[in-house]
Structure 1
Amino acid sequence: MSRNVITIDADASVIDAIKTMLSHHISGLPVVDRDGALVGILSDGDFIRRVEVGTEKRRGRWLAMLAGTSQVALDFTRQYGRKVNQIMSPNPITIEEDTPLEQVVQLMESHGVTRFPVMRDKKLVGMVTRTDFMTAIANLRLDLSSSSGNDDQICASVIAALAHAPWRPAALNVSVRDGVVSLRGNIRNDNARKATTVAVENVAGVKRVDDQLVKITYPPPEEDYGGGDFVSLEEEPSTEDDQPL
């Protein structure tokens, strides 16, 4: 998370908020009151529907009735408001410092948000955004690419990475030379080919994948769902009930 959090006062002007976001190259701002308590969140999405650029919502009489007077009034305030507290999203969802990463992802997906204020004892101590995930991934990939091993070790790791994958190639042959992995065998479909390449590329020390896999149309499609050879049942002897009427 980012610990040096830039905030904006709830009574600040919309123009001041925009200037702050642009000058610091950020897409969201926690909003605080005079006591420093978190009261809302302001994001770049709050400026999409604005009268200044002619993108405010225009509803006819019937659509306004369907939306309801409360929603119409709220939209008007956010589209014409001149203070941060008039256009911000109040009562933002927050997380704690020890919130598991998986839970953070689930909250982002379920609520459709891109950032969370991080709290400690009801005080704002940081922000977690989607950019933090990008930074973490980049750092991890840098560490992975810097690791190395001899070709035999890489070959064994590639085979292990594909050993239990349901989409693994049939009759797979793996060879490695100077970190370049050559794959030979039969593959069922393009998605399985991509997954195989990705699995191999994630093995430490792999520099490149030489895909020599051959796409096959057999086994039949039912094989993709865990099927197999069809086994015919023994024919049962007919009984009196089987006789035609």
Structure 2
Amino acid sequence: MRSPVVAVGPDSTLDEVCDLLVTRGLSAVAVIDRGVMLGTVSEEDLIHRAEIGTAAPRRSWWFHLFGRNATLAADYLKSHSAHVTDVMTSQVLTVSLCTPIDQIAALLEVNRARRVFVVSGQRAVGIVARADLVRALAAARQSLPSPASFHDDASIRRQIVDALRTEVWPSIGAADVSVKNGVVTLWGGYLSEQERKASLVLAENTAGVRGVDDHRVPLDVAHAMV
């Protein structure tokens, strides 16, 4: 996570928020009052503004007739007010300091969010954005050990077979995998193009593999040949 959290107070103005976003290259700032996080103002909150002609279009007549007064007024506040508390989003995704990174990634994906805030009690102590996960991926790939110059064929085959057994999607088994001089040969069939590609990647990512020779056929073709 990144820490500390860049924040404004509930009495801050929209001008202060815009200045922070622009000068610091941020996509969001937290709104904090005496250590308690009230919400966040992000780029998404500011894309529909009257000043730049992007305010949300007026609702149709039927919405005015049957819609809620509060919704119509909220639309106006969001696009016209200069008060942070009128513009901010109150429902913010939060995690704790102990939340595993895979759960954070799932939260971002399910909620189609760009960031989560890390809280301790009611205090925001950090932020994890999608960009942070990409940076973590880049660092992890750079730290991968270099493949050893030699792996015997038996150990390569054993690693591939063991990896296949840990997954639920492969249609091939141990009898369909052979290795000679570091080149993996796959036999048998596959149920989908996605399965074919996934098994190729599994083999390619195995230490010592110099190449993959794929002799498999789609299982519907294999059944037709029987």
TM-score, structure 1 as length reference: 0.73
Alignment of 1:12-161 (within 5 A): 12-33=12-33, 35-58=34-57, 59-144=59-144, 146-148=146-148, 150-152=150-152, 153-161=155-163
Mapped to 2, the partners of 1:218 and 1:176 lie a distance apart of 27
How many angstroms does 1:63 deviate by? 2.4
Partner of 1:182: 184
RMSD (Å) for aligned C-alpha atoms = 3.0
Mapped to 2, the partners of 1:96 and 1:212 lie a distance apart of 46
Counterparts in 2 of 1:181 and 1:95: CA distance versus 1, 3 Å: same
Mapped to 1, the partners of 2:180 and 2:113 lie a distance apart of 44
How many angstroms does 1:193 deviate by? 1.0
Counterparts in 2 of 1:49 and 1:176: CA distance versus 1, 3 Å: farther
What letter matches 1:133 in structure 2? L
Mapped to 2, the partners of 1:155 and 1:140 lie a distance apart of 25
Stretch moving more, 24-33 or 70-79: 24-33
Structure 2 contact 204–212 (Cα < 8 Å) conserved: no
Structure 1 contact 154–176 (Cα < 8 Å) conserved: no
How many angstroms does 1:219 deviate by? 4.4
Q: How many residues align?
A: 218
Counterparts in 2 of 1:181 and 1:142: CA distance versus 1, 3 Å: farther
- Taking only the aligned residue pairs, the percentage that are identical comes to 26
* Aligned with residue 196 of structure 2, among 193, 198, 201: 193
What letter matches 1:196 in structure 2? S
Structure 2 contact 39–92 (Cα < 8 Å) conserved: yes
Counterparts in 2 of 1:172 and 1:32: CA distance versus 1, 3 Å: same
Counterparts in 2 of 1:169 and 1:71: CA distance versus 1, 3 Å: same
Stretch moving more, 59-68 or 78-87: 59-68
TM-score, structure 2 as length reference: 0.79
Question: Which of 1 and 2 has greater Rg?
Answer: 1
Structure 1 contact 115–130 (Cα < 8 Å) conserved: yes
Mapped to 2, the partners of 1:37 and 1:128 lie a distance apart of 18
Partner of 1:172: 176
Stretch moving more, 133-142 or 208-217: 208-217
Q: Give 3-state SS (helix, strand or coil) of 1:167's partner.
A: coil
Mapped to 2, the partners of 1:16 and 1:193 lie a distance apart of 53
Mapped to 2, the partners of 1:213 and 1:16 lie a distance apart of 63
Stretch moving more, 136-145 or 68-77: 136-145
Give the unaligned 5+ runs of structure 1: 222-245
Counterparts in 2 of 1:101 and 1:82: CA distance versus 1, 3 Å: same
Mapped to 2, the partners of 1:107 and 1:148 lie a distance apart of 37
Give the unaligned 5+ runs of structure 2: none
